[in-house]
Amino acid sequence: MTDTTANAMWGGRFAAGPDAIMEAINASIGFDKRLARQDIEGSRAHAAMLAAAGILSDSDASAIREGLLTVLSEIEGGTFEFSTALEDIHMNVEARLKQVIGEPAGRLHTARSRNDQVATDFRLWVREQCDAAILGLEALMRALLAQAEQGADWVMPGFTHLQTAQPVTWGHHMMAYVEMFARDRGRMMDARARMNESPLGAAALAGTSFPIDRHMTAEALGFDRPMANSLDAVSARDFALEFLSAASICAMHLSRFAEELVIWSSAQFRFVRLSDRFSTGSSIMPQKKNPDAAELIRAKIGRIFGANVALMMVMKGLPLAYSKDMQEDKEQVFDAADNLMLALAAMEGMVRDMTANREALERAAGSGFSTATDLADWLVRVLGLPFRDAHHVTGTLVAMAEGAGVDLPDLDLAQMQSVHPGITASIFEVLGVHNSVASRMSYGGTAPAQVRAQIARWKEILP
């Protein structure tokens, strides 16, 4: 239905209200109601500053600040009636404030515009999401550390091309993800630090002639400082893009790990058993236990990176300063943030609950000629062969074992000596997977002692 009355907030020059379609495309209240708390925080800081600067009387400012708390409790209590005709959260709150406190409500919007208001609200919201992501990542890292600690010396196959490459330790593999998620955490921290400047007081785009104190509102809202250019303050959305970029990279890491869990929990691998709490059954095949959480985490990158691309496209051609296009920034970020937090929590739960199958890991570690590199290294170290020759000798031995349908340690000494007469029985010491991993003591290597050192380091760093 078309409302024929002109908008109460900005309708002074309008004779008629908007077409219903116009109202539908214009309104953002359906989603930006999620900014209610930040909007009210920002308005309360603004009102206090206006009073301190002598622009607003103390009694008006306290009526506004009190009234805003009433509005907030109505919103949080679910009794607030949102109106599409009032377009967005800013005007919904202000209109209700007017009903609650009367005339002083009309003075709140002095020296401010919805342009700096929405930029402020959204920054506050995204800043909270950075904090939430940091906490989620830390919880996930702690879950991985617990896995790493338990299996610091459990051997498993390390893969390249998903072909058995060299034995590694379970702890080493878990700690590889700790490093990735630590960088994701660092990216969230960097993004948070960079976005922590206040747009409030930039007004529509040019600043204001009122003697406002932007440092005061910045400080009240926990920002490090006011943004230095009012045009930039209302135009910038790179803070949201930085969050989405960090979220996308994090989702990509989650997706890779999720893919490994899907593979590892299959009947063919049996490297891990996922808990009942994080698996589902099949409605037709009674034997099945599906890694649905891992699969869904694997898929989340689609919408999270999609949000990143979408907002990048919204912003790329916009002239300064504010354009209504920018209203389209929020839904993408809300969706990406919700799904990132959910994926982090689900991954943490899965990792906490999962049981690594030590025997299956060890069995797989020894197959596929995984210690061929150790054999070649032994030929270099003990017999002084050039590595290229050692590589060739080892290749011949692998072919021999493969032809006989056995693994390298199953060849006997005579067979080995037929390929290179210098080989002695001590070669068998490096063919075991435990010897193999223990020997990889280079910094960051897979040796249990190295892995334990990294676990200790991260336990120090993590709060």
- Active centre residues (catalytic): 161, 282
Choose, by CB under 6 A, the member of 39, 41, 88, 197 that binds ligand ARG: 88
The vertex-169 CA angle with 164 and 171, nearest 5°, equals 135
Q: Which is nearer to ligand ARG, 51 or 326 (CB)?
A: 326
Radius of gyration of the chain (CA): 31
Of the candidate spans 111-119, 153-161, 178-186, 225-233, the one that interacts with ligand ARG by CB under 6 A turns out to be 111-119
Token pair, residue 423, equals: 């080989």
Choose, by CB under 6 A, the member of 44, 46, 112, 114 that binds ligand ARG: 114
Least distance between ligand ARG and beta carbon 78 (Å): 22
The amino acid at 159: F
Choose, by CB under 6 A, the member of 71, 133, 307, 326 that binds ligand ARG: 326
Of the candidate spans 11-19, 44-52, 319-327, 350-358, the one that interacts with ligand ARG by CB under 6 A turns out to be 319-327
Residues 118-137 touching ligand ARG, rule: CB under 6 A, are: 118
What is the SS3 assignment for 226? strand
Helix H or strand E encompassing 165: strand 163-169
Beta strands 355-356 and 272-273, pairing class: antiparallel
Q: Which is nearer to ligand ARG, 33 or 256 (CB)?
A: 33
Bridge partners (DSSP) listed for residue 273:
355
CB 357 within 8 Å of CB 272: yes
Residues 264, 269, 270, 273, Cα dihedral to 10°: 10
Q: Does 28 bind ligand ARG (CB under 6 A)?
A: yes
Least distance between ligand ARG and beta carbon 326 (Å): 5
Least distance between ligand ARG and beta carbon 324 (Å): 6
The total of other beta-carbon atoms located within 10 Å of residue 276's CB is 10
Compute how many residues bind ligand ARG; rule: CB under 6 A: 10
Least distance between ligand ARG and beta carbon 50 (Å): 20
Q: Which is nearer to ligand ARG, 145 or 326 (CB)?
A: 326
Residue position matching structure tokens 């349908």: 405
Q: Does 322 bind ligand ARG (CB under 6 A)?
A: yes
CB 260 within 8 Å of CB 353: no
Q: Which is nearer to ligand ARG, 112 or 192 (CB)?
A: 112
Contact pattern for ligand ARG over residues 192 through 231, marking x by CB under 6 A: ----------------------------------------
CB 431 within 8 Å of CB 398: no
Residues 272-301 touching ligand ARG, rule: CB under 6 A, are: none
Give the whole-angstrom CA distance, residue 251 versus residue 309: 14
Beta strands 155-160 and 163-169, pairing class: antiparallel
CB 110 within 8 Å of CB 55: yes
Q: Does 32 bind ligand ARG (CB under 6 A)?
A: yes
Contact pattern for ligand ARG over residues 352 through 391, marking x by CB under 6 A: ----------------------------------------
Q: Which is nearer to ligand ARG, 115 or 450 (CB)?
A: 115
Of the candidate spans 242-250, 263-271, 321-329, 353-361, the one that interacts with ligand ARG by CB under 6 A turns out to be 321-329
Per residue, the 3-state secondary structure of 40-79, as one string, reads HHHHHHHHHHHHHCCCCCHHHHHHHHHHHHHHHHHHHHCC
Give the whole-angstrom CA distance, residue 158 versus residue 164: 6
Helix H or strand E encompassing 403: helix 387-404
Q: Which is nearer to ligand ARG, 60 or 88 (CB)?
A: 88
Q: Which is nearer to ligand ARG, 137 or 240 (CB)?
A: 240
CB neighbour burial string for 330-354, b if at least 16 within 10 angstroms, e if fewer: bbbbbbbbebbbebbebbbbbbbeb
140, 144, 430 from 352: Cα distances, Å:
8, 8, 34
Least distance between ligand ARG and beta carbon 16 (Å): 19
Least distance between ligand ARG and beta carbon 321 (Å): 9
The vertex-108 CA angle with 201 and 15, nearest 5°, equals 105
Q: Which residues of the chain form contacts with ligand ARG (CB under 6 A)?
A: 28, 32, 88, 114-115, 118, 322, 324, 326-327
